[in-house]
Every structure is written in C-alpha cells, then in structure tokens.
Amino acid sequence: MKQHLLPTKIVAGDKIEHAETLFVPKGLYATINLNVEEWDGFFKMQGLGSYVILDFGKEMNGGIRYFANFVEGGMCKVRVRFGESLGEVNSSIGEKNSTNDHGPRDCETLICAVSDALIGQTGFRFVRIDLLEDKYIYFKNIYCYNYIFNKKPIYTYQGNDKRIADIFWTAKRTVDLCSSEGFIWDGIKRDRLMWVGDLAPEAMALTAIYGRVPLLEKTLYLSRKIAPLPKYMNGIYTYSMWWIIILADYYKEFGCKDVVLKHLKYLINLIEQMNDLVDEQGDLCKTIRYLVDWPTKDSVDELVGVRAIFLMAMNSAEELLNACDCSTRTVAEIKRKLNLQPLVVSEKKQVIALKYFATGELTDAEYEKLIEGRSKGFSTFMSYYLLTAIASRDEGLAIELMKEYYGAMLDRGATTFWEDFHIEWLEGSGRIDEIDETKKDIHGDYGAHCYVGFRHSLCHGWSAGVVKFIKEHCHD
C-alpha cells in the first residue's frame, strides 16, 4: 500500500516563510496560481543557504513527493537528504560512515516550476532540503510517500501493559515496512535485499500477526531460485540452514504440505550437500562463509552457534521429510556427526539460546549466564530465542527483560526497531530525534562490523521476532 503523509513538524530552517502552510493538504496535483496576492498560502524557501528539516513523525519507506508552484528562473538546484535520525539527516557522505548504499539518501537535484515529482527511495523519518542557488521556491505541499504492507491481522496485542503494546506496534511497523514492496527485505535504508538467514525472525513476526502469508512463500521460492545448488543462499551456508528452519516453522504452523512439496526435491539435494559441511570428527567446514549474528562474529562461541543452527536445521529437515514420507537417513548421519562434539558455550547469550532450541536443554549454569547483567549482551536478531529460553525458567523475568531492552530503543526515539542495539549505548547518549551536542549520537557514534555509524539501519526486519514472543507469553 502507498500512503501520502504530510510532515508532523518542522525541526529547523532558515530563510523560509509561511511554514504553517506545509501542514495543510492542498490536493495531490500540481496547480498554477498566477495571483501573486495568494502566494502567501504557499511555503517559501528564499535564497542561497535556505534550508528546512521536516519530521514525518515515524520511520518511512519511500521518499518525498513535492508540488512546486513557482520557481525563480523556472528551476533551482537543491540538495535533499534523508535520515533515520536527526544526526544522519544533517550529515554528509563519509561523516560518521554516512552513505548512499543501497539507495541514494543524499543527492542534488532540480526543483522545477509547476511540478509534481518524486525524490528518493530509502528508509527515513527526516528530510532536509537545502537551496543551492540564490533563487526562491514556492511549494504547494511536500508529502512523504510511504510503502507499507497492508493485510488484515489475525493477532494484535490486546493486553493492558502500555510498554508491551508500544513494543508490539513498533515491531509490527518494522516488519510491515520491510515487507511492503513485493518481497521481504532485511531493511528499508540499507539491505533492501533478501538475506535469508536474517529472514527467520521476520517470518515469525509476519506469521504471528497475519497467519499464512503468500509474500513469505514467494520470498522463500525466489531465495532458492537465485541460489541454485551447489550455491548456498547469500553465499552463507548457515543461511541455507535458516531457510530449512523457516520452511519447517511455516509448515508446523499452517500444515501447508503443498508449500513443502514445491521445495521437496531441492530440500533433499540440499541436505545431501550439507553432509559435506561436517566431517567424521564432527568438525565444521570453515572454508565456506557462515554467520550466527554480528555480535557473535569471530567470537569463541561462533562455531558453537553454527553447530546449534545446524542441529536446528536438521531437526526441522527431519520433520519436513517425515511429513512427506521421505527417507531421513542423511539427516540422521549429519546429526550423528554433529553430536560427536559437545555444545559448550563460553560467553555469548544468543548461542546459549540457540543451544536450547537445538537440544531442548538448558543447564543451571547456562541459565545464570543468560540472565547475568539482565539485557546486557542481547541481540535484536536473536531476541525471540533469548527471551524464550529465559521464559522456560522464568516467564515474568523474560517479559521484564524484553521491556528493558526494547523499551530502551523506544526511549531513544525509535519508531521501528534497529539492526543492532546494546544496552550500554544508553550511557551518555541522546535521542535520535534530538540534537544535543553534550551527548553522544546513539546513531552516529555506535555500531560495528558492517553497521558502523550512520550506516546502521534503524528499521531492520530481524528485530521484529519479539512479536512472536509477545503473542506466546504476554496475555495481560
């Protein structure tokens, strides 16, 4: 669904007039107004250095659609910047890793007289427009055009806890934006792509909210089509494992054997290929790329996490093959080899959670490690697994830690949930919708790996797995 939305406020500006007229809709069509006396009814930007920063209130997926009446000289060069935070919208390319990756969010273009035109295709909340010439522009309106998934939900949180409600609706918006343009993407600013492993929590959220989702079926099919064997999905072998887990979860939820049968031949051949990923000593392949999640990258627990995901995938594969009356011999052989080496977790909470999902076991020592430091060490990608593992011992504490972790993002201005977040980022940092030079920029001053600084996505579908946890555990 495509929406047209007016800005909710003007954050800042210079050399502008009649700002209040931007909040009055005047129709989605261009007009010519030759009566100079009525020009005061339009937003005016005047002269070199004129700028305005618009706040559209929430994270959006799209760009702006502007209606310009008169432009001095017929056209004027402008710079348009989009930002998920105020820090990002005021940044230049290269500043704190500000980028145009996957969709231009900082560009120069022309505003033409009597025009109806679109600019941008990215994830953003804020837009900054700067005049680059000594001219004037009269705008009739400046809209955001926003693409968002539109399907009647079968579940929404109906409890009385406002914090949980805010987390639910923010997570729902996250997944709705990432699922709005034909396939399910990882993010709407950076990673406008189908990263299959990252899709698992997003698929949980979608099916929890909407039930059976043809868009997910379409994405699973295309993911296989663009990575035919012997390729692994996205070139990462754990991502092909997640594909199996997603398919099995979908089948268990809806009993859709028709979907499984479409993938059966591919699934059987993929399992045969995966047999080569673990040798007779139980050692995992290290020559093909693998990933648990970014906070686990290159840690002492990374391969333990890979092994846990592998076991989860084989458990899922066994269920799918049994449903189709197919042999599980290769699956049994892979599991035998995987179990030659124990799953011993040293430090990473998310790997403890994955072990729990792989084996159904959680020792007292592992549980104590999970809750040590409360939500410190949590991962947005692994939130469902972490919280569910904790809830197996103490549901109330798991809900409390969910509110602490996700609520912290809300307190920093989040309207969608982020690619990554660490509770330590709170110390000395400000909100994403404020500029405070005395505080750290929680967007631009943090991040790691591929999401350093402003490259960090503040709308990432994998963070929405918390929706399924809310559905399963939050009833009051």
Q: Could you identify the residue written with the tokens 């210079």?
A: 14
Exposed / middle / buried, residue 452 (Cβ in 10 Å: 0-12, 13-18, 19+): middle
The pLDDT assigned to 37 comes to 73
Residue 212: count other Cβ atoms within 10 Å of its Cβ.
Answer: 15
Instruction: Report the C-alpha gap between 314 and 306 in whole angstroms.
Output: 12
Nearest of 92, 134, 138 to residue 111 by alpha carbon: 138
- 47 to 78, 128, 221: CA distances (angstroms): 11, 16, 53
Structure tokens belonging to residue 147:
């693409």
DSSP 413: T
Dihedral angle, C-alpha 453, 423, 304, 308, nearest 10 °: -100
Structure tokens belonging to residue 32:
């010519």
The pLDDT assigned to 476 comes to 76
The pLDDT assigned to 35 comes to 75
The pLDDT assigned to 145 comes to 96
The pLDDT assigned to 193 comes to 87
DSSP bridge pairs for 5: 144
The pLDDT assigned to 269 comes to 98
The pLDDT assigned to 32 comes to 84
The pLDDT assigned to 94 comes to 96
What SS3 class is residue 93? coil
Structure tokens belonging to residue 425:
């980022």
What SS3 class is residue 114? coil
Encode burial over 317-330: b for 16+ CB neighbours within 10 A, e otherwise.
bbbbbebeeeebeb
Cα–Cα–Cα angle for 361, 364, 367, rounded to 5 degrees: 80
The pLDDT assigned to 466 comes to 98
Contact assessment for residue 315 and residue 332, using Cβ atoms and an 8 Å cutoff:
no
DSSP bridge pairs for 77: 110
Instruction: Report the C-alpha gap between 312 and 359 in whole angstroms.
Output: 8
pLDDT tens track for 441-462:
999 999 999 999 999 999 999 9
Q: Which residues, 6 or more positions from 298, have their beta carbon under 8 angstroms from its beta carbon? A: none
Instruction: Report the C-alpha gap between 143 and 118 in whole angstroms.
Output: 9
Contact assessment for residue 288 and residue 232, using Cβ atoms and an 8 Å cutoff:
yes
**Positions of the chain with pLDDT under 70:** none
The pLDDT assigned to 40 comes to 83
Can you list the domains of the chain with their CATH numbers? Answer: 2-147 (2.60.120.260), 162-419+457-473 (1.50.10.10)
The pLDDT assigned to 36 comes to 72
Q: Could you identify the residue written with the tokens 């995992």?
A: 284
pLDDT tens track for 243-258:
999 999 999 999 999 9
pLDDT tens track for 36-93:
777 788 999 999 999 999 999 999 999 999 999 999 999 999 999 999 999 999 999 9
